[in-house]
Structures are given as C-alpha cells and as structure tokens.
Structure 1
C-alpha cells in the first residue's frame, strides 16, 4: 500500500501546492481521491500515467477537488486507445450530470470527442497507439454514492460518510479505504464531523484538511464547515488515529515558523505521528522510520 499526496493546497493559486489530490496504490489498483487543478501534473511527476488509474473517488464538487477530473478522464481515454477498462468514478450527486455535460455531443468537450472519433487524422493516431476497429467515446462507469455506502473490489473496500461542508448547496463525503496492508481515511473538506470520527476510528493514516488557526474563524458557519488546527488535533486523538496528515493548507500559516508552531500545538494534544503535508510526499502506512546516519 502506497499513499502519496498530489495536491495539498486550496483554491488559492500556488506553484508549490496544487489543489487537492491523493493517490493510493493497493491490491494491484491505482486509486485517486480527488483531482483538483494541478493534481494531474503531480500524478505525472510521480511517474503514474492516466491509464494506470483504475478508480477515482470525488469528495465534493468544488473545483479545487475535481477540476482535473476531465483531464484524467479524457487523457486516460485518449492514451488508452480502447485497450484499458473504463474508469470507475465515484462521488456525490450530481456526478452523472456533470460528466454528461463534459462528454455529451453538446457538452464542453463534445466537439473535441466528435472530431477524435470521426476524423481520419485522429483515427490514425488511435490506431498507432494500438487501437483497433471504430473508436468508441469515453464511457466512464459512474456511481453516485450515499452516506453509508460501501464500495468493494478485489483486495480493498471503501466506506462513505457524509461530512460537514457547504450544505445544503453541496453534498460532501469522507472516505475510508481498507486493504490487507492498512487503512487510509480522507476527510475531503469538513469541519468537526461525528460520522467522519466513526469512519476514522483506529485508522493507520488520516489525511485531513487543516484550514485555519483555531481562534481566527470569521464566523460560526466557517468553523462548522472547515477545520481549525486544534480541533483537528482533538479529532485525531479521540479517533485514535496512528498518523495524521495535515493538508488543504492555507497561506495563513504556510510560512516558516508558523508551520512548526502548528505541528507543536497539534502535538500537545494528538500523540500519534504528524505529517505537515507537501505535494509529492509519500506517507508510510506503518509510521515514520529514521534513515541511516550518514
């Protein structure tokens, strides 16, 4: 089981932190959780091709969590040239409607897809990549999930919990992936959530948004829908999480000295392993191990 961070930032443009994205490889599958703007570039930096990705779980439909969804979907289809299974995509409603508006004839990429499946030039490229026969349109296998759902595949399963983020305008989910090698929980975006606390209980790795310094929330709604650093520390400690990954990092505390302060103050409450997430970081399932002194 390999857990790597693709994007650890927010909607705020950054060359250092791309929008949300995480990739877990286990049981022969490559599973992506969220794919915001820039996350696909990070995927390539890790040497993972779009056609290597087997499953995508979207936590909610903010653009910083799914902006690169069409890039993954279309690149995988184009490069796979009919030789890879359709991408399995999971998420809250209106996932099906969003996808239809991307790839239907009258969708955003409709003219592109019509030309790539009917024009001889594109058919030549398709066949050069190993495709045969007529070129079919992308047809991802879509599943609109509900809280409490379980997705099971060979060697792993994912459980779904609704979390507190931008309701009633959005439905937002957190996910727990369990396989033989360990357990990974991804919060999506949320404030304190009882359902997520139950989902995260005793997990090996929790990747959770840490959006602001506790005490600086501009409103009660803000603190209900996002997570402060001390609230996160208490959450992880009460759930007996073995390793906590701080992500969805804002510019408020993403600076020298402030990062260390956050780690120190979280560590005064939470007694597991703490990772201040960075793009392309790998999180060991069994916890940190010191390297050889050299």
Structure 2
C-alpha cells in the first residue's frame, strides 16, 4: 500500500493570485486526510480531482486564517453534496476549534439560516429527494475532537501524534503533527516562530524535535527562526534523509508551489538504502516569509 502526500498550498497570509494558503493531503485507499485548509485549498483539491465529499478527516494546526479559512467552504460543500449519504467529516484540532466550528455551523451559528433553508425549504427537499430518495434531512453532525500536546489519534493503521510547536502562544495553541505508518513517517511542523534569543536547549522546541525525528517527509513552516536554534538533525533533512546539518543559516523562504505537488510513502524493506528515493526526500520543504524562490514537491517513493 502506498500513501500519497500532496502539497496543495504552502503560501503566506499575503493575498496572491498564484499562491494558496496552507494545505496538505495524505491519502491511501481507505481515507483522505486533509491537514489545514487555507485560502484556495478547496480549489486545489478540485484541480487534482478530489471532491470535498471524498475528504474523510480534517486536521487543523492552529486558528490563523491562512490555515483555516477555506475549511468553511470545504465543510459546507461536503455537507451540501453528501447530505445523509456519507459519514460526517471527522474533525481534529487544538483547543478552541470546537467552539469555532459550532459558531459557524451549529444551530445558532453564522451559517444556521443557510443550513436551515437547505434542510427545510421545499425546493431543497425536492432536490434532496432526487439525490438520495428521501426528503428528510437531519441537522449536520459536528464531529469535532480537540487535541492537546501529547495526544495520539489512531486512524485506520496510522498514528497521528500532536505536539505543541512555538507560534503565537499564549494567544492560540499551535500543534504540529507526526503521522506514523507502515509505509513511512510524515511530519508537519505547522508555523514555527522562535524568538532571536531562544537557545537550542529551550524546552519549547522539544515537541518540534519529536515531530521531525527520523521522519521520511517533513513539511516545516519557518515563520521566524534563529540561526542558533539548530532545529534540524545532522542525519536527515527537513524533507527526509540527507540535507544540511544543525545550525543552518537563517532562511526566510516561501516554498509555495504554483500547482499541487505529490510525493509517496511506500513500504521499504529493512536494510535497503535510500538510493531509489527521488529528490524530495533529500531536500527540505521549507515555508516562510520571503521571495517565491523554490518549487516544492517532486514525486518520490520509499521502498
């Protein structure tokens, strides 16, 4: 079994006709898990042939708009097109996300008039009857599970580890995620903001180190990082094995892809080398503030 990793968008909060906000899709034959859903991500999903109704799980890192604003579109279109015919979207995120979702889609939420109309209006009931064979519709279930640093979620053979990563605390919690599978390890740091005087031994960095340790593919958003922090282990790059050692020079790069890019995790026999891996696994996929100077994400496999 192969796990496909697609970088849908790696942009910044700045408005752009070319760049999208944050969004990364992990999928196998049973599930499609979307990490973050910033501006433009639903359009990127559609561009690779993935409908909102096909997304089975959504995982949020933090409540900054460039990571979450298109979640509104994703949720509404998934519910509207899949009402009573697909399971509710399983939603995970940091503390505060449940309130966010309920204030949008709950019975007293911002979109309650829209949802009420699509459930109760005779025109919508006729449409739903044609789609599903019944005009009766229930209020959508909001299946939100809030996570804290240290929590583990098991999803059909995957283990998703949540760790707190420094970025705008205490105003909001920011979680990075590590996905361990039989095919390999994917790590997503979320945004990383470290004060200039932060040392490599600072305990706030421990969660980040745990996330990226021996990961096969790592996507890391470097919002503000000091040269002295040394986030990267000498033995592997932020996008896999190889790469620069710890203590790399400070970089502010925007690695936004102008179209979705795909990599793969496929089970590798013990004792084999990485020579069959493509370039992505030996370079870091780094996102930060600055010029558009890197086209992210080439196809790769681990065997």
TM bracket, shorter-chain basis: 0.7 to 0.9
| 1:203 aligns to 2:193 (yes or no) | no
| 1:175 aligns to 2:177 (yes or no) | yes
| 1:240 aligns to 2:242 (yes or no) | no
Aligned CA distance change for structure 1 residues 125 and 167 (closer, same or farther; 3 Å): same
Query: What's the Cα RMSD here?
Result: 2.6
| 1:155 aligns to 2:157 (yes or no) | yes
CA distance in 1, matches of 2:232, 2:129: 51
Find the counterpart in structure 2 of residue 288 from structure 1. Answer: 278
Which has the higher mean CA deviation after the structures are superposed, 119-128 or 60-69? 119-128
Shift in Å at residue 122 of structure 1? 0.9
Shift in Å at residue 24 of structure 1? 0.5
| TM-score, reference length from structure 2 | 0.76
Aligned CA distance change for structure 1 residues 244 and 236 (closer, same or farther; 3 Å): farther
Aligned CA distance change for structure 1 residues 242 and 284 (closer, same or farther; 3 Å): farther
Find the counterpart in structure 1 of residue 200 from structure 2. Answer: none
| 1:110 aligns to 2:112 (yes or no) | yes
User: Does the residue aligned with 1:36 lie in a helix, a strand or coil?
Assistant: coil
Aligned CA distance change for structure 1 residues 182 and 242 (closer, same or farther; 3 Å): farther
User: Does the residue aligned with 1:121 lie in a helix, a strand or coil?
Assistant: helix
Instruction: Count matched residues.
Output: 251
Deviations 1:2-51 (A, max 9, x none): 00011110110111110111100025110000001111110111110111
Within-5 A mapping of 1:1-294: 1-26=3-28, 28-130=30-132, 132-191=134-193, 193-211=205-223, 226-227=224-225, 234-238=230-234, 240-241=236-237, 243=239, 269=245, 276-278=255-257, 279-285=259-265, 287-288=277-278
| TM-score, reference length from structure 1 | 0.78
Unaligned runs of 5+ in 2: 195-204, 247-253, 267-276, 280-297
Shift in Å at residue 153 of structure 1? 2.0
User: Does the residue aligned with 2:73 lie in a helix, a strand or coil?
Assistant: helix
Unaligned runs of 5+ in 1: 212-225, 246-265
CA distance in 2, matches of 1:53, 1:99: 17
User: Does the residue aligned with 2:191 lie in a helix, a strand or coil?
Assistant: coil
Find the counterpart in structure 1 of residue 289 from structure 2. Answer: none
CA distance in 1, matches of 2:163, 2:50: 28
